[in-house]
Structure 1
Amino acid sequence: MDSNDAPDAPLVPPVIDEAELLGLSGTQTPVIEAEPLEDLNLPLDTAEQQGLVFDSSANPPALPDGPSAPLPARPGLRRDNSVPLPAPLYLPPPAPPAPPPDATQTADPISLIPLRSLVSELPKVDPAPYAFSYEDASSFEDELEEWFSYSVEEQAMLLKAQTSFAQEWGTFNGLNGTPYEEGGLDWAKATKQQQSEFVQYLLDVIRRRDPVPRLKKLEALVYILLGCWHESAGLGSADTEGSNEPSQIPLPRDGHAPGTYAKSAQHVQLIRKNVQLLVDLDGLDIVIRQLSSACSQACGIDTEPTGLRDNKDSDRRETWCSMTAVYVILEVARVEERENNDTTIRAALLALEEPGLLMLLIEIISKLRWDDTIGLPLPKICLLLWKTVLVSFGGLSEAENARNSFKDKYLKSADAKGQPIITASPLDYHLFRQEILSKYPAYNPPPPIFPLEPENNSILPPLKNHPNKVAGNHVFGSGLGDMSGNNTSILYQPVHIATPAPSPPPSPAGPGGKGGKKQNYQTNQMFPFLYPPLDETSNKLGGKGSTDLQDLLVGRKWEGPDIPTSILEAADLYAKRMRATRAMKQLWEERVQFMKYERGWSGADDNTDIDELSLEPKEGIPKKEPPPSGSIEERLDLVEEFYRKALPSLQSVIIVLIKAILSHVTALVTQANGANGLQSGFQYQDNQNGRPEANGVNGHTGCVATNEELDAMRTQEVLDKAVSGTLMLILKWFKISHILKYEYITQLLVDSSYVPLILKLLQLQEIEKVVNFKCEQEELNFFYFCRSHSRLGVDQEQTEEKPEADSDSDDAVPPPIRMRRDDPESSEPEAEPPSPLPAMPQAPEVDELGFPTSELPKEPITTFSWRAFFTSINYLRIMQKICKNKAHRNLMLVSYKSSQFLRKSLKVPQPQLRLYTLKLFKNQVPYCGRKWRQSNMRVITAVYLHCRPELRDDWLAGSDVDAEVDESVPLEQALRALTHWHNLKRYPEGMGARSGVLEDEQDFFRRELEKMDWGDENDPDLEPVSVEGW
C-alpha cells in the first residue's frame, strides 16, 4: 500500500441470517454491495469531503507494475431493526466488479484541485461584440477625415490648394504647373534641400502683409501638409502590398472595415514627413500667427490697417487654410507622441510666444458667447481646442500616470492573491467611529486621518445655521443629539429615567382590539449601552472608578474586553484599509485654511504657498530649473498656468460648449427626421464588413437624405465628440492638479444645465441603434476624394466588389440614404433595393445583467460608429463625475426620472458604456423608493457585479437619507463658498479682484466691531451725539 493511503481498519464480519442461506448453492454466495458516497453522509473531516483524494488532475500515487487488481469494496452498513426481516424470495444480481481507480474518478464528484484549475481557466472578461477601444481619439486617418465636411465649398478649397501648389511649385522650378500634373515635378522625388528651400520661400511670403500672394502661398503650404495627394494617394505601403493574407491585417478599432485605409499608406507617411519638415524650419510660429490674424479679422478686429483685404471669400479661404494647417500639425504631434514617443512637435507648440495656441482658442471661444455674428465655424474651433488640450496636457493614460505618481508606495494596493484591496475613505471611517461610539461610549477606536468634528459628516467646513446631527448617517441611529429636542435620542429627553423602561404588554392588542405599531414592541436601537461591562483596564480609562465592588457583587472578575470582538475587528480593519486620496488631503488643507481665515487665526506665514504664484521677480532666489519635456511636473505646471490665465473665460467657454449640445437636442426635438433619431428599423451589414444601410429612421415614409442633411448630421456628431472630449480632459487634469479646480468646472456644468440636457439627449436617442448607424459616405470622405483626384484614380476593382444596392443611381450622385420607414401596406419585397447579401441580423443587445438577449456574432463587429461610442461614454462619465458623492445633484437625477433613460445604455454590449451607466444608477439608488428598488433588482444586481465595492458599501441600505437630503443644499453651498474663497485667494486677478483683498477683510475683530457700529466716533463727517444724563 502506498504511504499516502490511510491504513485499513479492521473489517467487522457482516451479520447474515441463516434463513438467507437456505436454498443457495455453493457457488451462490451473497455479495455485499458498497454504498455510494452520497448515501453515507460522510462527516466533514473525511478526506472525500475535504477534496484530498487523488484524481486525474493531481499527481496520483505511484502504483506497482503489473495488472491492476480491483480494490476491495467497502462493506455495507446494515441498519436493521431488532427483529430480523424475513428471507427474500430471490437475491439481487451481483454487483459488477469495481473499475480501476483512474476510471472511477470520472464518476466521482469533482475534487477541489481540478475545480480550482477549472475556475482559473475561465475567461475573466467577457468578449465584447464590438471591436471598440476607448482611447483618447480614433485613428489618425479617421480623425483627419472628420476635419473635412461633405460640403462642395470645402471640396473646392481643396482643389484650389492643389492648383496653387502646382503653380507655385512650377514657378519655383522655372516651369508652369503642367509638368506637375503630368508627373514631371513630384514633391516626393525632390531632394530634401529643394523641399526645405521651397517651404522656406512659402513661409517668407506668408509672413508678409500682402493678402493676395499670401493666400496663394498659404494654400500651397496646406497642400504640402496634406500630403500632396495628387502623387501619393492610392499608393499602399510595401508591407500591405506584399501581404494579401487577411490574417496579417490587424483588427481595426476605429469602426471601419479592415483595409479601409490600405490604399492611403504612403499618403499618410508623406503627411507626417511634411509636417516634421515644417516644424524643423520653425514654421509653426508663422502658421499660428496667421491663424491668430485670420480669427481676429473674423471677430471684427482689424489687424491690417493698410486695408489691403481682398473680399470676404478670400478671408474665409485664408481662415480655412490656417485652421487646416494647425489641425494637421496637432494630429501629427499626437500620433508621433503616442506611437514613437516623439515630443518634438509638442515642444515646439509649447515654446510659442504668449498667449500661445491654447489661450488663443480660449479667447476666440469666449467671444463666441457674446457675439453670434462671428463667422468662425464652431465645429472646427472645438476640434482645435480638443486636440490642443490633448497634445499639451496629455491623454487619459498620461493623466492616469500622473494620478498614480501621487499614491503612497508603502501602502498595499493588492492582497496576497493579487486582487485589489477594498478600501475605505477617512469619511467612511469617521462615520463608522460615530456609529460605534454611539453604541459603546467607553470604546476608544483607532484615530482617524482627519480630526473631523463629531457632528460633521463631510470634509467641507461645518455648516452654519444648520442643526447638528451627530452620526446621523448610520443604521443604528444617532447616539447623541442636539439640545433643541430635534433628535429622538432618549439621552436628551426632557425627563430622563435612569432605570430601564417597563416591559411592554404581552399582547400587542391595543384598546378596542386594534393592534399597536410594531415599533412599540421592539428594542429601541438608539439607546446606547450606558453601563458597559468593566474590565481590568477600566480604571486607566478615567471616569469609571475601581472594579473591586463590581467584582465582589458579581462573584467573579470580568475577563475579556467590554466591546464585542466583531466590533474590535471591524475597527482594526477600517483603520488598516483607510486611504486618503490626494484630493481629500487638498480639500482638508483648504478647509483648515478657510476656517482659520473665517475665525481670524491665520497669520502672516500662512500664505507662503501664494507667493509662488506671484508673477513679480523675486530677488535672491535662484531660478528654478524647468522640468523635462513630457514629465508629470511639466504637465501639471501647464495645467496650473492654464487655469490661472483662463479663469476669467472658463464660464464663457463652458456655456459655448453646452450650447453645442443644446443645438443637437433642439434639432432632435424640432425635426421629425432629425439626426440619430428613433431608428427602429435599423439593420447593419452581415459579416460586419460592408457599409451599413438604414432601413428606416423615425418611422416615417417619404424623402431620402440629401448630402446637405447627411453633412449636417455628421458635423453635429463631430462637434459632440470634440465637446465631450474637451470636457473630459479638462475634468481629468483639473482634478489631478487640485480638487477645487475640478469642483469649479463641475459647478459651471451644473449651472449650465448639463445634467438635464444629457438626459434629454438620452431620451430622444436610441443609443443601441445610434452606435450602429454611421453618418458616413465613403465617396465623400477625404481620402477617397484624394484618391479620386490623384494620378492613379480610384481603383475600379474596388467599386466592382461593392454591393449593387445603389447601382441604379448615377455615379456622380452619392447613393441615397433612406431616412423614413415604409408603411406596412407598401412593404413589398420589390420595394426593397436589390441586394445579393443574405438577411441582415439585428444589432446585438444584452439585458441588465449583461446576458445577451440574442445570439452574439462570432467575430467582433468592426463596422460601427466610433464617434457615437466615444461621445456617449464621455457624456456618461462627465455626468458621473458631476454627481459622485453629491446628494443635491443625485437628487436632480431622481427628480428628472433619469433611470428610464439610462436603462437604454445597458442594452449595448460595451463594457465602458455599461460601467458608467451602472455607476450613475448606484449614485441615485439611496434616494429612490422601495417600489423602484423592487422593480429594478436586476439593475441593482448588475451594480454589485460590475462596480468596484467599498468597505462601507451601504448605498443600498440608505442609512439616513432624510439627513442627507436636508444637508444636500447646505453642503452644495459650502462647497461653492470654499471654491470661491480658494479662487479669490490664489487667483485674485482672474476673479476680478485686486491682490490682497482677503487680507484686508481678514481682521476678525474689526469686522465684529463694524457689526456693532463701533469706531464711528473718529469719523469727522458724523456729528457728536450728546446723551442727556452723562
Structure 2
Amino acid sequence: SEGSLYSNLWMELSLEEQRVYVMRLLDALEVTDRDKRLKVARAILYLAQGVFDECDTEADVLYWSRHNVFLLYDMGIFTALLELLSMEIDNNQACSSAVRKPAISLADSTELRVLLSIMYLMVETIRVETEGDSPERKAAREAFKTELGSPLYNGEPFALLLFTMVTKFCSMNAPHFPMKKVLLLLWKTILFTLGGFEELQEMKVRMREQLNLSPLPEDSIKVVRQMRAASPPASAMELIEQQQQQKRGRRSRRPLVKQDSLDTYNERDPFKNDDARDEEDDPEDVDSGIEGEVDPLDRDVIIQPPPPPPLRPPTERVSFPRGLPWAPKYTLLFLVHTVFSFFFLMLFYSDIDTLVGLPRPIHESVKTLKQHKYVSIAEVQIKREEELQQCPMTMGEEEVEETPAEILYLGMLPSLSQYVIALLKLLLAAAPTSKAKTDSINILADVLPEEMPITVLQSMKLGIDVNRHKEIIVKAISALLLLLLKHFKLNHIYQFEYVAQHLVFANCIPLILKFFNQNIMSYISAKNSICALDFPHCVVHEMPELTAESLEAGDSNQFCWRNLFSCINLLRILNKITKWKHSRTMMLVVFKSAPILKRALKVKQAMMQLYVLKLLKIQTKYLGRQWRKSNMKTMSAIYQKVRHRLNDDWAYGNDIDARPWDFQAEECALRECIEKFNTRRYDKNQNSDFTPVDNCLQSVLGQRVDLPEDFHYSYEMWLEREVFSQPIQWEGLLQAQ
C-alpha cells in the first residue's frame, strides 16, 4: 500500500521524510521475490540519477544526484547492494543458463547492470570532491574511501570482488556479466581508494622527504603541459627552406657560423610536415629522403637562423625556458665508473668523495655530477631488501605500513596472474585491430539487444554503440593497469616488478603494439558518440529525431578524448614495463615497433608524442647506425623533448655484445629477487630456515599430545608394526646426528 509519502514529489520532501523513504526501500531489498527486488533497485537507481523527471535543467539533475547519493550512502544502501551483488555473482542457476544460451543479450544481465550502475554512481559521485561540500560530506567521503580500500567486505577489499567477476567472465563461467560496467566500477574504485596521478605525486614527494632524499627536480606533468602550451616559432619553416636550398646547391650568401645554442630547435615541431609524406610506401618506415633535415649534432654547417619574428601578445604565446625542458640526472654507478677510469682502486667503490690524486678536471666533473645526483625511491627499497635478506636476524622483522596499496597487493597476490591475463584478454577483444573468432570471449553481452535491428538507422545506432562500448573498455583497462603499476611501484619496487613481469609473460608488449598497428589518426578522431543520448541531456531536453545523416556527422569535437586518453595510458604502460629492461627493449626491436611508433607521432599532442619518443629512445642503439642516420628528424625530436641521463649513450651507442641468453638471465635474476621478497614478507610460514627449533629433550617429550579416542584399542598393533618389526639402522642415525 502506498501512503501519502509516495505521492509527493521528491524535491518537496524534507530530509527526514527522504530518510524514511530510503529506509522503506532498504527494507524492500530483502524480499525474496526477484521481480520486486529489481523494481526496488530501479527506484534506488532513479534516486541516484537525480530524480530527473522532476528537474528542468541539467544542473538540477546533477545537484539532486549528488544529494541523493550521499543520502543513500548514509542510510547503508551500498552495503545492501554489495550483498545482492555477491548473491548475483554466486547465482549458479543464472550462470548455467547463460552458458547454455547460444547468444547473450541485454536481458541476461538486467539485475547486475542495475546494481552496478547504482554502485558506480555512488563511487564516482562521492569520489569527486567539490567546493561546496560540507564537513559532513567530506567525512563521509573519507569513511567511504576507507571502507572500500580496507578488508571490511568479506575479509577483502571491494576491488577484489570485481576482479573475481572479471576472471569468472573470462573463464566463460559467467558470460552474461556486463564487463563494461564491471571494469568502469573497478577503475573508479582503484582511483578512489589508491588515489589519482596528483595524489601519487604528493605521496612521492612525502616519501622522498621521509627517506631524506633530494626533492624532485620538476613535475613531469607540468613540464608536458608547458611543452604543449609552447607553440613552434615562425622561423622553423625558414630554417627548413634554407636547408633545402643548401642541399640543392643554392647556398645562401650569409656566412656559415657555429650555432651556440639550440633555442630555435627547442621550440620546433619536428613532425609538422609528416602528413605530407606517405609512410605506408616504405615498409621499414625509413626516412631516407628527408629534405630540410637539421642535424643538431652537426653544428658547424648550420646556417645562422634569420631574425626572430615580431613578438606576439602574451595571450597567444607562452614563453618557454631556454634549453631543454628536463633537468638531467645521473646514477651513482656512473660516478663510480668515472672515478674508476682514472683511479683503479676498489677501495674507493664506497667512497666517491675521496678524489686525492685525481686531475683537476675530474674534481670539477664530479662536482657537477653531484649537483644532478638523483637517488630514486626504488634504489632505496632495493638496498633495504638486500639488507633484510642478508641479515634477517640482525635487521629484525620489517614493519609494513597497512596502506591501501599494500592491502590490495596482499589480496591480489594469490591470483595475480589470473587477474592480469583476464584484463589482457578483454583488452585484446576490445582492440579495434582484433578480428572476431569463434573461441574469443564475447564482450558485447551488455550492449546487444534481444532482437537484432531491422532498419538501417537501427543498425547504424547499434554500430556506434558497439564501437563506443569497446572504446570504454579499452579506456578502463588502460587506466586501471597504469594506476596499479604506479601505485605498486611507489609502495614497493618488487610489487611493481611482479605485476610488470606477469604483464610481459602474458604478451602485453605485442598486444599494445598490435593496438597501435592501425590508422591511429582515425582512431583518435573517431566519432562514436551520439550527443543527443548523453545523460543528463537526454532526460531533460526533448529528444531530437535521429537520422542517418545526424549519426554520420557525430559530435563536433576534433578528437575523441576517450581514445586519446587510452592511447597515452597504453604508451605509459609500455614505458613502465620496458624501462631499464634490456630484454624487454629487445622485444620492442624484435616486434618491429619503430615504424609503428613513428606512425603514432602523427598525432599532434605533446604528451602522446613524449611517451612515443621515450619508447623510440630506449631502442635506438639496438636499431643500428643506418636507422639513426635515416631518421635524424626523430633523433632530433628525442633530443628536444625527452629527458637525458648524463651517461646516456642512446644517440651513438651500439650494443653489439648483447646475446639472448644474457636477457634471459636478467629476467631470471629479477624473478628470483621477486620470489625472495614475496616469500620473506608474505609467506612467512614457508621460510623455515630461521624458524626457532626446540632442541630440549625434556620440553619436547613433556608436551601433551592429544590422541584420538580409539588410539588405545590399536596401540599394541601400531607399536608392533611401526616399532618392533622395523629394523633400526643405528649407524645412519648416528651419522645424521
TM-score by length of 2: 0.69
Deviation at 1:448, TM superposition (A): 5.7
Matched residues in 1 for 2:575 and 2:616: separation?
Answer: 10
Residues 405-433 of structure 1, C-alpha deviations (whole Å, 9 max, x = no match): 12246746669999875331223333434
Matched residues in 2 for 1:314 and 1:420: separation?
Answer: 54
Match of 1:659 in 2: 425
Q: 1:715 to 1:753 in 2, by over 3 A?
A: same
Does the 8 A contact of 2:585 with 2:618 survive in 1?
A: yes
Match of 1:192 in 2: 15
Query: Given residue 657 of structure 2, which amino acid in structure 1 is its aligned partner?
Result: D
Q: 1:1022 to 1:726 in 2, by over 3 A?
A: farther
Matched residues in 1 for 2:533 and 2:205: separation?
Answer: 44
Matched residues in 2 for 1:382 and 1:905: separation?
Answer: 26
Residues 982-1012 of structure 1, C-alpha deviations (whole Å, 9 max, x = no match): 11221128xxxx443454799xxxxxxxxxx
Matched residues in 2 for 1:909 and 1:431: separation?
Answer: 40
Deviation at 1:760, TM superposition (A): 1.1
Does the 8 A contact of 2:624 with 2:654 survive in 1?
A: no
Q: 1:313 to 1:411 in 2, by over 3 A?
A: closer
Matched residues in 2 for 1:280 and 1:413: separation?
Answer: 41
Match of 1:553 in 2: none
Deviation at 1:322, TM superposition (A): 0.9
Q: 1:410 to 1:762 in 2, by over 3 A?
A: closer
Deviation at 1:815, TM superposition (A): 4.5
Matched, 1:423 2:423: no
Match of 2:649 in 1: 954
Matched residues in 2 for 1:291 and 1:338: separation?
Answer: 33
Which one of 92, 97, 109 corresponds to residue 316 of structure 1?
Answer: 109
Matched residues in 2 for 1:1020 and 1:427: separation?
Answer: 62
Q: 1:412 to 1:587 in 2, by over 3 A?
A: closer
Unaligned runs of 5+ in 1: 1-167, 180-184, 237-263, 303-311, 451-540, 542-559, 597-601, 614-632, 672-701, 800-810, 819-832, 841-860, 1003-1018, 1026-1030
Does the 8 A contact of 2:146 with 2:193 survive in 1?
A: yes
Q: 1:299 to 1:753 in 2, by over 3 A?
A: farther
Query: What secondary structure sits across from 1:907 in the alignment?
Result: coil
Match of 2:687 in 1: 996
Match of 2:408 in 1: 642
Query: Given residue 383 of structure 1, which amino acid in structure 2 is its aligned partner?
Result: L
Match of 2:88 in 1: 294
Does the 8 A contact of 2:53 with 2:539 survive in 1?
A: yes
Residues 520-553 of structure 1, C-alpha deviations (whole Å, 9 max, x = no match): xxxxxxxxxxxxxxxxxxxxx9xxxxxxxxxxxx
The structure, 1 or 2, with the larger RCO (C-alpha pairs under 8 Å, 6+ apart) is 2
Query: Given residue 441 of structure 1, which amino acid in structure 2 is its aligned partner?
Result: F
Query: Given residue 777 of structure 1, which amino acid in structure 2 is its aligned partner?
Result: I
Computing the radius of gyration from Cα coordinates, the structure with the larger value is: 1
Unaligned runs of 5+ in 2: 97-104, 219-320, 438-455, 694-725, 733-737
Match of 1:398 in 2: 199
Matched residues in 1 for 2:502 and 2:13: separation?
Answer: 53
Which one of 457, 462, 468 corresponds to residue 714 of structure 1?
Answer: 468
Aligned residues: 561
Q: 1:217 to 1:961 in 2, by over 3 A?
A: same
Matched residues in 1 for 2:481 and 2:658: separation?
Answer: 32
Query: Given residue 207 of structure 1, which amino acid in structure 2 is its aligned partner?
Result: E
Q: 1:300 to 1:338 in 2, by over 3 A?
A: farther
Matched residues in 2 for 1:315 and 1:769: separation?
Answer: 34
Query: What secondary structure sits across from 1:940 in the alignment?
Result: helix
Matched residues in 2 for 1:569 and 1:449: separation?
Answer: 14
Does the 8 A contact of 1:926 with 1:961 survive in 2?
A: no
Does the 8 A contact of 1:767 with 1:904 survive in 2?
A: yes
Within 5 Å, give how 1:693-772 maps onto structure 2: 706-763=460-517, 765-772=518-525
Query: Given residue 661 of structure 1, which amino acid in structure 2 is its aligned partner?
Result: L
Which one of 140, 157, 167 corresponds to residue 344 of structure 1?
Answer: 140
Matched residues in 2 for 1:417 and 1:965: separation?
Answer: 42
Matched, 1:266 2:19: no
Q: 1:652 to 1:941 in 2, by over 3 A?
A: same
Which one of 904, 908, 912 corresponds to residue 603 of structure 2?
Answer: 908
Query: Given residue 909 of structure 1, which amino acid in structure 2 is its aligned partner?
Result: K
Does the 8 A contact of 2:336 with 2:352 survive in 1?
A: no
Does the 8 A contact of 2:382 with 2:493 survive in 1?
A: yes
Say which structure is richer in helix: 2
Does the 8 A contact of 2:166 with 2:422 survive in 1?
A: yes
Residues 670-708 of structure 1, C-alpha deviations (whole Å, 9 max, x = no match): 69xxxxxxxxxxxxxxxxxxxxxxxxxxxxxx9996222
Q: 1:896 to 1:174 in 2, by over 3 A?
A: closer
Does the 8 A contact of 2:329 with 2:646 survive in 1?
A: yes
Q: 1:420 to 1:198 in 2, by over 3 A?
A: same
Within 5 Å, give how 1:19-418 maps onto structure 2: 171-173=2-4, 185-232=8-55, 235-236=56-57, 264-297=58-91, 316-336=109-129, 342=138, 344-351=140-147, 352-354=152-154, 355-408=156-209, 411=214
Query: What secondary structure sits across from 1:912 in the alignment?
Result: helix
Q: 1:295 to 1:343 in 2, by over 3 A?
A: farther
Deviation at 1:769, TM superposition (A): 2.5
Query: Given residue 422 of structure 2, which amino acid in structure 1 is its aligned partner?
Result: V
Query: What secondary structure sits across from 1:342 in the alignment?
Result: helix
Query: What secondary structure sits across from 2:90 in the alignment?
Result: helix
Residues 383-414 of structure 1, C-alpha deviations (whole Å, 9 max, x = no match): 11101001111101001100111224674666
Match of 2:582 in 1: 887
Which one of 555, 565, 568 corresponds to residue 870 of structure 1?
Answer: 565
Does the 8 A contact of 1:443 with 1:563 survive in 2?
A: no
Within 5 Å, give how 1:601-1000 maps onto structure 2: 602-609=391-398, 612=399, 637-665=403-431, 668-669=434-435, 706-763=460-517, 765-787=518-540, 793-794=542-543, 811=545, 815=549, 817=551, 862-958=557-653, 961-963=656-658, 967-988=662-683, 994-997=685-688, 999=690
Q: 1:417 to 1:708 in 2, by over 3 A?
A: closer
Does the 8 A contact of 1:299 with 1:374 survive in 2?
A: no
Query: Given residue 364 of structure 2, which amino acid in structure 1 is its aligned partner?
Result: E
When the two chains are superposed, the root-mean-square deviation of aligned CA atoms in Å is 3.7
Deviation at 1:319, TM superposition (A): 1.7
Matched residues in 2 for 1:324 and 1:934: separation?
Answer: 54
Matched residues in 1 for 2:600 and 2:39: separation?
Answer: 49
Which one of 437, 441, 446 corresponds to residue 344 of structure 2?
Answer: 441
Q: 1:337 to 1:606 in 2, by over 3 A?
A: farther
Deviation at 1:787, TM superposition (A): 2.7
Query: Given residue 590 of structure 2, which amino acid in structure 1 is its aligned partner?
Result: S
TM-score by length of 1: 0.50
Match of 2:231 in 1: none
Does the 8 A contact of 2:50 with 2:61 survive in 1?
A: yes
Matched, 1:432 2:338: yes
Does the 8 A contact of 2:378 with 2:492 survive in 1?
A: yes
Deviation at 1:888, TM superposition (A): 0.3
Q: 1:909 to 1:202 in 2, by over 3 A?
A: same
Match of 1:565 in 2: 360
Query: Given residue 424 of structure 1, which amino acid in structure 2 is its aligned partner?
Result: Y
Q: 1:414 to 1:349 in 2, by over 3 A?
A: closer
Deviation at 1:869, TM superposition (A): 0.8
Percent identical residues: 28
Deviation at 1:977, TM superposition (A): 0.8
Query: What secondary structure sits across from 1:956 in the alignment?
Result: coil
Q: 1:773 to 1:704 in 2, by over 3 A?
A: farther
Match of 1:620 in 2: none
Query: Given residue 651 of structure 2, which amino acid in structure 1 is its aligned partner?
Result: L
Does the 8 A contact of 1:429 with 1:578 survive in 2?
A: no
Deviation at 1:449, TM superposition (A): 8.2
Does the 8 A contact of 2:168 with 2:174 survive in 1?
A: no
